[in-house]
A and B are shown apart, each in its own frame.
Chain A
Amino acid sequence: MRTREVVIAVSVAAMVVLLAYAIEVGGLGPIAPQRIRDLAATYLINTYNPWNITLSSLSLEAVTAIVWDYRGIDTFFETSVLFVAIVGVTSLLRGFREKTGLSSAGLSEIVKTSTKVLAPLILVAGVAIALHGHLTPGGGFQGGSFIAVLFILLSVTFSLDYAISYGISSRKLLALRSGGLIGILVTSLALLIASLILGVNSYIFQNMAREGAPLSMPSWFLDRPTGGTLIWFNTFEALAVAAGISLAFLVLSLREEEVEEALGQVEWYE
């Protein structure tokens, strides 16, 4: 046992030294080069480019434009992976039942009251980050995580009992999560459906007009661009992520009394 640990330690240390040396001599390419790759420059120029609309997504934020427009299908499957993971977590404990009246102590009254004051501020900060995802750094995932923090905070300071009796249940969260995903799907197909009616060409995940596909999403709301589909994607993604992470936390923090029934039905394989 000892020799095994020593061998692992020595080989990991050797790997670190060799990797550091390889980086030092430029094995990963030049560190912090003066020129970025042409691909990156293309993204930077075309992200918000009203003079060349067929390559642009009319969003001021390049990362959101790449995530939801240029590589939209990629991100759609990424969201599906998150959904599948949550389904997996839930099905590990399938048959659980949320109960109230188990332990409703939570933390002290001071912490509870401070959390009450913080709760609306966390929620609205998440909303602000999600809505401005195409203008400033941030986006649907970040805003949704903000909102999920609120649920985690509530269930820790007030106890899970309080959160459940406030009206948060795994069924509602799953419904919200699915609603967010359906919203993403509808947004990605919106232009396709519109073009079927109007009889012109279009693509899945189309945002602005492309060559041979003249339709584009409404890209301007009052005095700021909306990035076409981006604002919808961000909103629905925030909803889906907030509900999904809350659901996963709810399932992971279930009390023993709530899962013993579910665990009793499981056959343990030796």
Chain B
Amino acid sequence: MGKILSYLAVYALVYGFYVVFSGATSAFSLILGAVGSLLVSLIVKPLIVSRELKLADIKRLGYLIYYYIYYMTVAEVRAHLGIAKIVLSRKLKISPAIVKVPYYVSSSYGMTLIAGSITNTPGTVVVQVDTQRKFLYVHWLVATTFEPEKARESISSEFEKFAQKIFG
């Protein structure tokens, strides 16, 4: 059951991307694409899904969509406003530094989501990751602290809350 669900999830991702990418509306494209996507998902499933999925995981998808909207409308805008304030002010009030930020999610997808979210908001860039000791090394434009836990509070705690819920 879990195995079939994993294949179905990969198939839905692949086929959905196919339809969007080729702009398929004709039966020709849709049917050939269904066959092609089946082959592709059979090939790549062992690569991208490491644990068996359950029906309850559909809740995580809802969190992902909610997080996407929240991130694009609230978190991004807030970070952009902060950087715009710094750029437009008379004096350049920056204190760039590379700080250590711990993370507590267990899956690599969750870690990648956190790292991507940090990098995509202006002002912070992930430069290195230490998967053994679970640290991200983040270049921070306005570093206010070098304490790993406090830096986590102001950089990644809100992303991590969602990453924990989405990928675990």
Contact = CB atoms under 8 A, between A and B. Distances in A.
Interface of A: 108-110, 112-114, 116-117, 119-121, 123-125, 127-128, 131-132, 136, 166, 221-224, 226
B37 interface: yes
A109 B131 contact: yes
Enumerate the 7 nearest inter-chain pairs by beta-carbon distance, A residue then B residue, closest first.
A224-B28, A113-B112, A127-B36, A222-B27, A128-B22, A120-B44, A116-B48
9 contacts: A116-B47, A120-B14, A124-B18, A124-B37, A127-B18, A127-B40, A128-B36, A131-B29, A224-B26
Interface in B1-56: 10, 13-15, 17-18, 21-22, 26-29, 31-33, 36-37, 39-41, 43-44, 46-48
A132 B29 contact: yes
Contacts of A224: 26-29
Nearest to B167: A113
A132 B44 contact: no
Tell me which of A123, A128, A132 has the highest count of chain B C-beta atoms within 10 A of its own C-beta.
A128
Contact of A119 (B22, B28, B47, B115): B47
B68 interface: no
A113 B111 CA distance: 9
Contact of B129 (A108, A123, A124): A108
A114 B131 CA distance: 15
Contact of B28 (A121, A127, A222): A222
Interface of B: 10, 13-15, 17-18, 21-22, 26-29, 31-33, 36-37, 39-41, 43-44, 46-48, 108-109, 111-112, 115-116, 126, 128-129, 131
Grouping DSSP codes into helix (H, G, I), strand (E, B) and loop, the B interface class, with mixed when no group exceeds half, is helix
Contacts of A116: 47-48
B19 to A, nearest CB: 9
A131 B48 contact: no
A128 B33 contact: yes
Contacts of B31: 222
A223 B37 CA distance: 20
B48 A120 contact: yes
Nearest to A226: B28
Contact of B17 (A108, A121, A132): A121
A223 B27 CA distance: 6
A129 B36 CA distance: 11
A199 to B, nearest CB: 33
A110 B129 contact: yes
A108 B21 CA distance: 29
A226 B18 CA distance: 19
A127 B18 CA distance: 9
Tell me which of A121, A124, A222 has the highest count of chain B C-beta atoms within 10 A of its own C-beta.
A124
